[in-house]
Amino acid sequence: MRKWVSLFFLSLILIFPSAAESLEPEYREFHILKTEEATTVGQGNLRTEIEFGVTKQPDASELYSIPRLRLTYGLSDWADLEFEYDFFVVRDTTFVKFPTGEIVSDHDDESTGDLRVKVKMSPYEFGRNRLGFEATTKFPMADRDEGVGTNETDFVWQFLLTSDWGRLLTHLNAGMAIIGDPAENRNQRDFLILGAGAEYGLTDSLTLMAEINGSTWSENGEKGFTDNIAEASHGSWRAMGSIGLTGPIGNDWRWGLLARKGLNNHTDDWGVQGGLSRVWGIGGSEEPAAAEEERRPDPETFFNPMKTATAYTIGERNFHLELAADYINQPDDSDLYVLPDLTVGWGIGPWADFQVQLQYLMVRNSKRFDSSGAVIEEDIDETGQGDAWAKFKFSPFDLRCGRLGAELITKVPSADDKDALGTDEADIVFRGLLSTDWSEFYPDSLLGRLKTHLNAGIAIQGNPYKHSSQNDLFIWGVLAEYELLESLTLWAELEGSNGGPTIGNVTEGVYGDDFIEARLGLTGPFPLIDFLDDWKWGVTASAGMTSESRDWTASVGVSHTWGL
């Protein structure tokens, strides 16, 4: 199923340009460097890039990208969404099969690479400088047994600084790469990544580019070194220098050539690549992705305390906060407390937002299991940080039946599996969203107080019991909200998941087979409390509908939205 997700995103890369109009005569540079720029493509603009290249890896094997496709869309004037996909050919590579330890040498293969989804936000501009942030999620599409990837989920975040000195542009990057470890279950390796790049306008149309970038690890030594892409895309003490040149082809296209050279023994020996780039003006919806009565000059707090997501977004440049306390009676009858459950969100466009969810967990009478389901430890009482969740939602389509969008969620593993607080595996969730405001169809009836929301998608959960493996589950949700009074809203939902193994608690996964839960909720304002003006409170309670589901859950929380 993950390959179908890859094909879906690849189809976007190939289809979008055919329906687009070229930007004329606006000039856009082909940024061929690995060091990222903080500048964006502009709202409603689409940049397509196709590259071909070859890399001599540290193990002396050759890795060909034929091709690398990149699609970047401007969500707003300061936020981009990017998809990057590779098809690889590898020659004479060597890798180790896990868990057997078998060494495969002189391996030749051709296979799909991974799909990377990137969200860039660059809202801060001061003087000649622009400061931004980029988050990248790698969908593990490449097969490790073919020598072209790790088959592990990776997550990368980095800060970006671009400075305009006239003919010279400089770029600085610093961040962290959280790389799934194919050699060990429930483990990741964290690398510090750095980059410094420059662009210099030789003429009005030719640009010279250069950079130095690399990565290192806090625990230096042999374990942190990587010999090829089947071990990791980053490694300890990697440093690469690059130089490139870009120029025009006609009025619309840009060409680019780049040569790379490794600066030490633990880096790719050398690499060359060339490609083409073009920017298209395809536009986009100017209407905010909000229900009709919520499109007001001042942001209104919209609090959805349920699991099923709505297609509505926060609103451009609005800041959203949710603070909750949760209780979950897990399928193994242990108790899980979330104290607190904190979500912060930012509207990065009229119909796109980015959210981060952080949790602190406490378990009582929990268990740990082996791959057969046998209990290896019980009566676990522990507290500690939970996983971090990064969520990106975009809802560009305003249809007759409602607002249509999608949400991409990445779980960054920070909970300790030995304390029964998580799997210590990276997960990815992708789901489609459809929200319908029935007041648009029945404005003068009681049915006009109803909004409905449908979710359907896939959860790719890291398998804690098998090397370089994930479990794919179908997830779904049906949610209704009804305005009982002008300020009081009743919520009801049915949500669940199917496929993959059944789970006993969060040490095995968030979603499990034959999960079905029914949930009720109520939200409203704080009356007569001035300093809580426009804050919302919310309470929920759920019951499991199958023996494999959580027996029951409850939550209480508050929410507020600020216009920045």
Looking at residue 290, what is its pLDDT? 56
For residue 295, being part of any structural domain is answered with no
Tokens found for residue 224: 């942190």
Q: What percentage of the chain has pLDDT greater than the value 70?
A: 91
Looking at residue 286, what is its pLDDT? 58
Looking at residue 285, what is its pLDDT? 61
Contact 71, 48 (CB under 8 A): yes
Element (H, E) at 134: strand 129-139
Looking at residue 284, what is its pLDDT? 66
User: Over 50: is that where the pLDDT of 9 sits?
Assistant: no
Q: Give the chain's domain count.
A: 2
pLDDT digit string, tens, across residues 366-388: 999 888 888 889 999 999 999 99
For residue 243, being part of any structural domain is answered with yes
In Å, what is the CA distance from 221 to each residue of 31, 150, 226, 266, 498?
A: 34, 20, 11, 11, 42
Q: Are residues 339 and 484 in the same domain?
A: yes
The last residue of one of the domains, among 217, 248, 281, is 281
Round to whole Å and give the CA distance between 267 and 40.
Answer: 30
Nearest-10 Cα torsion for 92, 94, 95, 97: 80
Q: How far is CA 82 from the centre of its chain?
A: 11
Q: Are residues 505 and 552 in the same domain?
A: yes
Looking at residue 393, what is its pLDDT? 96
The last residue of one of the domains, among 281, 313, 340, is 281
Q: What percentage of the chain has pLDDT greater than the value 90?
A: 62
The owner of tokens 């868990």 is 99
- Domain housing 408: 303-557
Round to whole Å and give the CA distance between 556 and 561.
Answer: 18
User: Over 50: is that where the pLDDT of 269 sits?
Assistant: yes
Looking at residue 321, what is its pLDDT? 95
Beta bridge partners of 343: 322, 357
Tokens found for residue 19: 């329906």
Q: Are residues 307 and 270 in the same domain?
A: no
Domain with residue 527: its CATH number is 2.40.160.40
Tell me the pairing of strands 238-249 and 207-217.
Answer: antiparallel
Q: Are residues 319 and 242 in the same domain?
A: no
For residue 293, being part of any structural domain is answered with no
Q: How far is CA 369 from the centre of its chain?
A: 29
Q: Are residues 275 and 181 in the same domain?
A: yes
Contact 274, 254 (CB under 8 A): no
The last residue of one of the domains, among 281, 315, 339, is 281
For residue 485, being part of any structural domain is answered with yes
Looking at residue 21, what is its pLDDT? 40
**Who's near 157: CB < 8 A, 6+ residues apart?**
133, 134, 135, 136, 175, 176
Angle, CA of 300, 304 and 308, to the nearest 5°: 145
In Å, what is the CA distance from 449 to each residue of 441, 467, 526?
A: 11, 50, 21
Cβ count near 296 (within 10 Å): 9
Looking at residue 297, what is its pLDDT? 43
Q: Are residues 277 and 352 in the same domain?
A: no
3-state SS class at 4? helix
pLDDT, average across residues 207-215: 95
Q: Are residues 498 and 466 in the same domain?
A: yes
Looking at residue 532, what is its pLDDT? 77
For residue 380, being part of any structural domain is answered with yes
pLDDT, average across residues 284-289: 62
Nearest-10 Cα torsion for 467, 468, 474, 477: 90
Looking at residue 526, what is its pLDDT? 87
For residue 494, being part of any structural domain is answered with yes
Residue predicted with more confidence, 559 or 297: 559
Give DSSP secondary structure letters for 403-418.
EEEEEEEEEE--S-GG
pLDDT, average across residues 430-455: 93
Over the Cα atoms of the chain, what is R_g? 24
Q: Are residues 251 and 307 in the same domain?
A: no
In which band, very low, low, confident or very high, does the pLDDT at 252 lie, cut at 50, 70 and 90? confident
Looking at residue 245, what is its pLDDT? 96
Round to whole Å and give the CA distance between 40 and 17.
Answer: 18
Q: Are residues 239 and 357 in the same domain?
A: no
Residue predicted with more confidence, 320 or 99: 320
494 φψ region: left (φ > 0), alpha (ψ -120 to 50), beta (else): beta
Q: Are residues 271 and 318 in the same domain?
A: no
